[in-house]
Amino acid sequence: MTASVLLDRAAIENHVRRLGRAIARDHPDGVLLVGVLKGALIFLADLARAIPTVRVDIDFMSISRFAPDSGRVRILQDLGSDIGGRDVVLVEDIVDTGLTLAYLVTQLSARGPRHLATCALLDRPSRRIVPQPVDYVGFELGSEYVLGYGLHVRDLYRNVPYVVAADRDTLVTRPDAYVDDLYRRPDSVREPGGRVNFVPAEEP
Ligand code: 5GP
């Protein structure tokens, strides 16, 4: 099974710049970016720097999912700030079924922000279970399962600086299948230049 670069650094930068401009335009009084840890950390760090023209405050919440696709989310660490009366953008790495985002939007809306918007680097609308809209979307995915730029499997690959499409079934049985190529042979990554194929580690 191979993995391939779906978004290289230049593509990510373009999407982040576009989203930053849109968020700045829509929030002339400043904005509080709320990142969902850990996946949104890297995206949010870049996004904040792509909003240079208005005041940006940053906060995070950490969550865990009870079971995939269950929509049941536990808040492990809540926000440090009161969002009452604030203009908030909730920042996610990827929206898939929409269950996580829908839960968080309900939670945060109840705290009385002046306005609450949602932003995701990646959106996979074909998998939606709840009709949760995303106001600012970087890139629309098909069925590809992705890693890198904050996205992980068992906490691996978050620091890969691009978004890679990988084989989900391979990762279920071997979460570290792509470690060799993505970490140990970075020379095989040609950027910029679009798609580059990787061959994951062989079965031991
Ligand atoms: P949702 O509640 O929208 O189904 O789930 C969103 C969460 O599922 C993301 O924050 C992420 O943790 C996980 N997820 C969904 N699709 C992918 C994917 O393609 N790759 C990875 N690494 N995680 C994903």
In a domain, 200, yes or no: no
In a domain, 65, yes or no: yes
pLDDT in tens, 67-94: 666 667 889 999 999 999 999 999 999 9
Average pLDDT of the chain?
89
In a domain, 197, yes or no: no
CA neighbor of 45 nearest in space, from 3, 81, 77, 12:
12
In a domain, 198, yes or no: no
What distance in angstroms lies between residue 172's CA and the mean position of ligand 1's atoms?
14
**Measuring from atom 9 of ligand 1, which residue has the nearest CA?**
94
In a domain, 173, yes or no: yes
pLDDT at 64: 86
Domain CATH code at residue 59? 3.40.50.2020
| Per-position b or e across 13-49, b if 16+ CB within 10 A of its CB | eebbeebbebbbeebeeebbbbbbebbbebbbebbbe
CA neighbor of 13 nearest in space, from 196, 146, 191:
191
Q: List all residues 6 or more positions away from 49 whose beta carbon is below 8 Å from its beta carbon.
A: 20
> In terms of residue numbers, what domain contains 182?
4-188
The three-class DSSP label of residue 22 is: helix
pLDDT at 192: 44
In a domain, 163, yes or no: yes
| Cα 100 to the center of its chain, rounded Å | 12
In a domain, 203, yes or no: no
Q: Could you give the residue numbers annotated as active site? A: 96
pLDDT at 194: 45
In ligand 1, the atom with minimum distance to the C-alpha of 92 is 10
pLDDT at 128: 94
In a domain, 27, yes or no: yes
What distance in angstroms lies between residue 96's CA and the mean position of ligand 1's atoms?
6
**Measuring from atom 20 of ligand 1, which residue has the nearest CA?**
146
- pTM listed for this prediction: 0.91
Number of domains in the chain: 1
Residues whose beta carbon lies within 6 Å of some atom of ligand 1: 39, 92-101, 145-147, 151-153
| pLDDT higher at 47 or 9 | 47
Pocket test for ligand 1, best of 96, 123, 140 (most atoms within 8 A of CB): 96
